[in-house]
Structure 1
Amino acid sequence: MRVAVGSENPVKRAATERALADVATAVESVAVESGVAEQPWGEAETIEGARTRAERARSADDYDLGVGIEGGVASVDGANGLFLIMWAAVTDGKQVGLGAGPRLELPETVASRLEAGAELGPLLDDLLDTTGIKEDQGAAGVLTDRIITREDALFQAVAGGFGPFVSGQYD
């Protein structure tokens, strides 16, 4: 089974390879646009970005499956503050499975700069004096001191999105 990941980010590809290791014969990165803002806000926009990436990646070269992964920020009912969120979409062109990663509360210093228009990855690079954090440990790794890496979090989201294709519970 050939799988396309709608991103050239090596962490997104690694998470997909890990989640689909038992079924994918090839996992390829395909550069596609998400169709949403660089910093998605809220569940709906983040899901839309993941779904759009999955659909565009799959149709790029008639892949068996397309996987789209999108990170965003959102308020969460019942909690104060702003949270990092992650969504994945998996599609075969007929159906779409969705899965989410963990929600991680963002420090107020980060949240206030996001609310002022910053994007999370470059913001963390600036705060930590690093480059390419989103292609390494990601915000999840920073916020948990690598207890949860970005790959771990995205693996969970992709595995959840793949559920309808393997479990038989969605028929």
Structure 2
Amino acid sequence: DVDVLMGTFTKSFGSVGGYIASSEEVVHYLRHRTPGSVYATAMAPPCAQQALTALRIIMGEDGSSMGKDKIAQLRSNSMLFRNKLKEMGCHVLGDEDSPIVPVMVYSPGKLTRFSRECLKRNLAVVIVGFPATPLLECRVRYCLSASHSTEELEKALHQIEELSEFCDMRYKKDEVAAKLVTAH
């Protein structure tokens, strides 16, 4: 059993905020005793409606299969992207079918270089470095969508393959090198 389940509406539902699901006692405590609840304003009604509508579509309550189809496409896109990154030797983290795909870079210099080169090629990436991560655990995070076509993903992967070679980010091709990098 899980005592507390929490998540975000930002990535999954295209909204803001998040949720916590738990026992009535825990929820009551959080609502009345935590600074985030006591000193914050409620979610704006349009944002709440966005999350509710997205959830209804995902659950098929709109009478269509659009939610189910989008989830299947997103899972397919995620697995394709992850598998190709692994094949090229990148150190990929996270759940196999998650649309958020973190790839370890380790070196802050490589992270900055990779980000700048991606920008030059019109490839949007999210970089995460110190202080959000320990200094030598920086990473690039790819955020996938059901709307990405296979062609778009293949084009992005081609760019990433070139840049990961250029920035020397293929740690999995040489496990010894990866262990040396993580040891420091």
More strand by share: 1
TM bin (shorter chain): under 0.3
More helix by share: 2
With normalisation by structure 2, the TM-score equals: 0.24
Greater Cα radius of gyration, structure 1 or 2: 2
